[in-house]
Amino acid sequence: MLESKSCSRLLRPTVVAALIALHGGAGFAAESDTLDGKPPVGTIQLSQVQAAYIGSGSTGEGTLRFKGRSYSFNVNGLGIGGIGYSKITASGKVYGLESIEQFPGAYVQGRYGYALGDNSAGDLWLKNENGVTLHLKAKRKGLMLSLGGDAVSISMAKK
């Protein structure tokens, strides 16, 4: 019974993220430069490695640019959906971040995309409980079909 509740708690965010991915981020900004009428407050770049066979795992690092400063961070995730292996580089915009303390933590990620050699496409939408939303355009290298959601943990890198 305990395992069932734990599994349910882990899958709930990934199911929500999968639905977001299926709708291409519906409810988020489509292709505009605003989210709920608010402009981005920062930018983000990250590099990540992802492997999937129904379940998926990823690890990587990135840089957040916010209020004139650069912050390094680490990212790790587990999820559902996809098959293959790819290296991802992504960049995008940050919305809803008022202070750097709101950035680290658990995010729900909706994703879709593909990679076939050097040809790829994809979007990543991440949102945390502090209302911080990340919209990233991803470029992948490898062999991967990705549609699903992840629970992602972002932590600030040690200096």
> What are 30-48's pLDDT values in tens digits?
445 788 888 999 999 999 8
pLDDT, greater one: 115 or 86:
86
Judged by phi (left if over 0) then psi (alpha if -120 to 50, else beta), residue 4 lies in alpha
Q: What pLDDT sits at residue 119?
A: 67
Burial environment of residue 43 by CB neighbours within 10 A (0 to 12, 13 to 18, 19 or more): middle
Supply the mean pLDDT for the chain: 76
β-strand pairing of 119-128 with 69-95: unpaired
Bridge partners of 79, per DSSP, are 56, 150
pTM of the shown model: 0.72
H or E stretch covering 19: helix 2-22
Question: pLDDT band at residue 88, thresholds of 50, 70 and 90?
Answer: confident
Q: Is the pLDDT of residue 71 over 50?
A: yes
Q: At 41, list the tokens.
A: 């407050």
